[in-house]
Amino acid sequence: MTDDLRIERVADEASLRDWRHVHNLIVPPDALTLDEVRERAGRHLLDVAYLGGAAVGCTTVRRPTPDAPSVATVIARILPAHRGRGLGTALYAHGLAEARALVPAPDTIETIVLASNEDGLRFALSHGFAESDRYTLDGATVPYVHLRRPAGGGRRTMGG
């Protein structure tokens, strides 16, 4: 199934809409407008995963910042109907490779998962992440979970 997976950088209006669609379905409390996605595409590396012509996932790779110069964030999102087939593993590996290629290369990789996304939390924990913080945004009811792992390791084998 992953042989048919195509991962493309957000580069035009169609891919902006596809990235937004996946993001907003997975993270409804933080639904983004197209203008907000355009702004993020200027700061972060945004990719869309396609099976055939359909968007099935997306990634965000946040570069290290002056406040955290050795930390990159990799977030992989797969639509629920496509989970459990190895697509998340392939998409995450793609995002991790992009993060490791940043200059300077990060020492630590973070990810962020909505606490209600049990599949996403299980995935992160099975890939060597450990919870580092949990917080709820003003007006929200579901917390976000920050997780961290070393950039060079910490991955255990996962079947899907």
pLDDT at position 153, please?
A: 60
Q: CA dihedral defined by 124, 16, 142, 83, rounded to 10 degrees?
A: -40
Is the pLDDT assigned to residue 68 strictly greater than 50? yes
Is the pLDDT assigned to residue 54 strictly greater than 90? yes
* Region 101-118 average pLDDT: 92
- What are the residues whose beta carbons fall under 8 Å from the beta carbon of 103, sequence distance 6 or more? none
* pLDDT-based confidence at residue 1 (cuts at 50, 70, 90): low
pLDDT per residue as tens digits for the range 72-108: 999 999 999 999 999 999 999 999 999 999 988 899 9
Mean pLDDT of the chain: 91
Domains of the chain by start residue, with CATH: 2-150 (3.40.630.30)
Q: Which of 122, 112, 100 is nearest to 148 (CA)?
A: 112
pLDDT at position 26, please?
A: 92
pLDDT per residue as tens digits for the range 24-38: 999 988 899 999 999
Q: CA dihedral defined by 90, 95, 96, 98, rounded to 10 degrees?
A: 130
pLDDT at position 154, please?
A: 47
Global confidence as pTM? 0.89
